[in-house]
Amino acid sequence: MEYLSIVFQEVYKILFLLVPVLVSVAMIVWLDRRVWAFVQKRQGPNVVGPFGLLQSLADALKYIFKEIIIPSSSNKVIFILAPIVTMTLALIAWAVIPFSATQVLADINVGILYLFAVSSLGVYGIIMGGWASNSKYPFLGAIRSAAQMVSYEVSIGVIIINVLLCVGSLNLNDIVIAQQNMWFVIPLFPMFVIFFISALAETNRPPFDLPEAEAELVAGYQTEYSGMMYAMFWLGEYANILLMCAMGAILFLGGWMSPIDVYPFTLVPGALWLILKILLLFILFALVKAIVPRYRYDQLMRLGWKVFLPLSLIWVVLTASYLFYFNLLPVN
């Protein structure tokens, strides 16, 4: 009985986290399309519900009632597993995101490594989908995206090392608390910029959406998917984008901490601050989608390996030397 109540408590907590995440994924799809439209002087989805807020729900309903087509020459098990893997990986990462000092599902002491590991596993959903479809466009898209995600993971890893040097702990709450006096975006601003661009590449967002470049590859790895399976890919992708925004907010923008530590601001709950910061980063993501043209593939690889990787490595040396010279290295 004791076990059962613990299990129920945990399930309740998980639902309390996952349901808002799923709802907000639906909402940010709407926000993405709205911001994109406004940049281009259009209205965007504004018909279903107030301001078109229910557009994503209408879309979801449509996807649910569409027929799921499984190509006869595909590898069926892996074909069906691929969207499930994408979706699951996008959701399990939220377990370690701290919404305040106490509101966190799993306060593990390698939180940032867990986040990094889960986001690097995200490539499997795409490779599996692309390979199992047994078709040219999905396979090309999958190969592109695998190479792209592995390359940009390297620079994200090095950027995380930069932050960790200043914190001295892998726990996400410790990372947030270390930014009490100054958000890391100020001393590590170049790293923040590189992180933002790498996050765009890691989540296959424009201008790095080569895996699904519609002009060349139809829809990349999603070409053969239909109905709810396509919707799951799509939800997983947006959940991943939100996750990268949350990661950026925690690493550089002070996570759940209020921007200024004075009376009326400290009343606002930490979760709200984190959500606002995630939204700010997401609106930047959406703006980039609207204003930047797509990269060519060789330029993408050049940017990742020849520009971002050396720059972030040099910055690691700089940060470490600065902290060492001024005796600021965190010791515990």
Partner 1 sequence: MIAHAIFFYTFSIIAVVSAIMVTASKNTVHSVFFLILDFISISCLFIMIGAEFLGMIMLIVYVGAVAVLFLFVVMMLNVAQQKNQWFAGQSTSKHIPVGLIISTLIFFEIIIVIGGWKYKPEIFDINNSLANTSVSNTHSLGQILYTDYIHVFQISGMILLVAMIGAIVLTFRQRSGVKRQSYIKQISRERVEGVEVLEVQSNKGVKIDD
* Residues at the contact surface with partner 1, assessed by CB under 8 A: 3, 75, 78, 108-110, 113-114, 116-117, 120-121, 123-124, 127-128, 131, 139, 143, 146, 150, 153, 157, 170, 332
CB of 146 to partner 1, least distance (A): 6
Contact 113, 37 (CB under 8 A): no
- The rounded distance, in Å, linking the Cα atoms of 107 and 105 is 6
For residue 94, the 8-state DSSP code is G
CB of 223 to partner 1, least distance (A): 17
- The rounded distance, in Å, linking the Cα atoms of 91 and 110 is 18
CB of 217 to partner 1, least distance (A): 17
Of the pair 32, 202, the CB lying nearest partner 1 is at 202
CB of 117 to partner 1, least distance (A): 4
Amino acid at 155: S
Full DSSP string of 150-192 = HHHHHHHHHHHHHHHHHH----HHHHHHTTSSS-TTTTTHHHH
Of the pair 142, 191, the CB lying nearest partner 1 is at 142
Of the pair 58, 113, the CB lying nearest partner 1 is at 113
* Tokens read off for 149: 């995600």
Q: What is the CA radius of gyration of the chain?
A: 20
Of the pair 120, 258, the CB lying nearest partner 1 is at 120
CB of 154 to partner 1, least distance (A): 8
Of the pair 26, 143, the CB lying nearest partner 1 is at 143
Of the pair 114, 256, the CB lying nearest partner 1 is at 114
Of the pair 3, 65, the CB lying nearest partner 1 is at 3
CB of 110 to partner 1, least distance (A): 5
Of the pair 143, 271, the CB lying nearest partner 1 is at 143
Residue 17 CB: number of other CB atoms within 10 A?
A: 18
- The rounded distance, in Å, linking the Cα atoms of 22 and 247 is 17
**Alpha helix stretches (DSSP H) within the chain:** 2-39, 55-65, 76-92, 111-121, 123-132, 136-167, 172-177, 189-202, 214-217, 227-252, 263-267, 270-291, 297-302, 309-325
Q: Look at the alpha carbons of 52, 56, 58, 62 in this order and tell me if their dihedral is positive or negative.
A: positive
CB of 6 to partner 1, least distance (A): 9
CA dist 258 to 119, 122, 179, Å?
27, 31, 11
Of the pair 54, 149, the CB lying nearest partner 1 is at 149
CB of 152 to partner 1, least distance (A): 12
CB of 172 to partner 1, least distance (A): 13
CA dist 238 to 27, 39, 54, 87, 241, Å?
10, 20, 17, 10, 5
